Amino acid sequence: MIKFYYAPWSRASIILWLLEEFGQPYAIERVDIRAPGGVPESYRAIQPNKKVPAIMHDDTVVTERAAICLYLTEKFPGADLAPAIDDKDRAAFLSWLVYSDSVFDPAVAAKAHGLTYESNDYSFGTFDDMLGHLEKTLSERPYIAGDKFTAADVQIGSGINYTMNLLGALPERPAFKTYLERVTARPAFQRSAAMDLAMAKDAGMAGAA
């Protein structure tokens, strides 16, 4: 059984979608990241920065979205959510898993907060470089790593959906919109989005009424 440390409308929503894609049994452990007093110190035993998501599987804790994606694809290869080791798309799959966390996410956050900087100032580079790379890739192929949907599309698809449609930090581009139509039509996305909204309502979060 997978124990999933989760908070609604957070980066953990990405892993909620991923778990629905795998179809493996999991139990949700709610973590109130928005509590007035903060997340309890005891949670550091699971996630050192008291963030979500995290999972525990057979007494093994895994944190960070890219690591969780890779761990689950290796543990449950039957779900076919990752190219095989010798597949030509394997390198792109690994690259985009990491790119989502290490470049896309921080570059968008810097843009949303109005941070002005040069490319060499931060390891993730500029927003414009990230934007160009993402648009070029999705203009050339149907999924982020190639011709098949993978766990990397959960990462990138969630990121584009949130930052373009909800945050408004990513510009609307035809390649992004077409890609989103494709990945968000998946039943696992639809289920996870409904679950995420229901749990946000249950938590009394603004905008979830």
**What are the DSSP calls for 113-182, one per residue?**
TT----GGGSTT--HHHHHHHHHHHHHH-SBTTBSS--HHHHHHHHHHIIIIIIS--S---HHHHHHHHH
Q: Which residue has the tokens 């192929």?
A: 141
pLDDT for the residue 81: 98
Is 90-188 a CATH 3.30.2000.10 domain? no
Answer whether the bond into residue 53 is a cis peptide, omega within 30°: yes
- Would you give per-residue pLDDT tens digits along the chain (209 residues)? 999 999 999 999 999 999 999 999 999 999 999 999 999 999 999 999 999 999 999 999 999 999 999 999 999 999 999 999 999 999 999 999 999 999 999 999 999 999 999 999 999 999 999 999 999 999 999 999 999 999 999 999 999 999 999 999 999 999 999 999 999 999 999 999 999 999 999 988 867 65
Report the CATH fold assignment for 2-80+191-202.
Glutaredoxin (3.40.30)
Joined together, the tokens standing for residue 50 give: 């008291």
Q: How many Cα atoms are found within 13 Å in the side-chain-facing hemisphere of 3?
A: 10
Give the three-state DSSP class for 47.
coil
Domain boundaries defined on the chain: 2-80+191-202, 90-188
Give the three-state DSSP class for 98.
helix
